Amino acid sequence: MNIALVTCESLAQYAAPNVEDEDSLLTRYLREQGHSVEPRVWTNPAVDWLRYDVVVVKSPWDYFDRIEEFYQWLERMEKLGVRMLNPVKTIRWNANKKYLLEMERAGVAIVPTHWLDKGSEVVIEELFEKLGSTQLVVKPAVSGGAKNTFTLTQQESAIRQPQLAELLQHEDFLVQPFQPQIQEEGEWSLIYLGGKFSHCVLKTPKSGDFRVQHYLGGGIEPREAPAHLRQAADAIVEQFAADCLYARVDGVDANGTLLLMELELIEPFLYLASSEGSLARYEAGLKR
């Protein structure tokens, strides 16, 4: 196949010494299998997307900083009839975390979430009561890489109120109860390729942090997916990502229940280096 691998202008800020450059790993493998693979920056207007058999969205890790431009790009790709993986409609749906509401209505167990609309006035102290927690996590509805994501305690309410008010002038946010399992056990990521389960990792934050991203010092441990988490993730992917090349189900184990944190269908890191055979499974999914 003639493949465009969609990326952004720079991935440097997401590099970590303990993790191999996944884009390079994937590109090298696919080329070894006889495919033509060209990294292409999604914001480059000179790219002729129609010359490729398929456009694989891999690492546009600045889309959340340029979301309106990203939506326009998706619309252009759709009008051109470009064959994209994952599909344009799926990417558009997945770009705003309000997709979690739809999943919750469909019966998926998610981390309890309260939505804060852009421009709204919020009293932080009331959020603790609404969510029944003494510690909260605040994050943008459109975000990635832990951008503008922080924790709040009741003691910090007064001092953090102006910060949250300023952030809400620019975009929607969501608030969730802090999940202690992340620091006690970690966050599970189950990766699916071509709609089929591929592998699983357990991500842990560095000491004193709650963010599990590897470029922020988090740890990555390949693990066998616990059966109850695998069953829940299988059902999620079958219902919401059946037509996807890749999907990553992120969640915590809450007393035997998978509490979904995010369903990553745009540009997730797939931990391909952590599992033997994952690159072959990626290619098989791509062929399917």
Reported as a single tens digit per residue, the pLDDT across 109-166 is 999 999 999 999 888 888 999 999 988 999 999 987 767 888 888 888 888 888 888 9
Contact 188, 259 (CB under 8 A): no
**CATH class label, 2-94:** alpha beta
CATH number attached to the domain at 99-109+181-277 = 3.30.470.20
**Side chain identity, residue 152:** L
CATH number attached to the domain at 114-177 = 3.30.1490.20
Judged against a pLDDT cut of 80, whether residue 80 lies above it is answered with yes
Token pair listed for 257? 């229940």
Token pair listed for 208? 């004193």
Work out whether strand 196-204 and strand 187-193 pair parallel, antiparallel, or are unpaired.
antiparallel
Residue-level pLDDT at 187: 93
Q: How far is CA 38 from CA 23, 31, 239, in A?
A: 11, 10, 32
The domain spans of the chain are 2-94, 99-109+181-277, 114-177
Reported as a single tens digit per residue, the pLDDT across 253-280 is 999 999 999 999 999 999 999 999 999 9
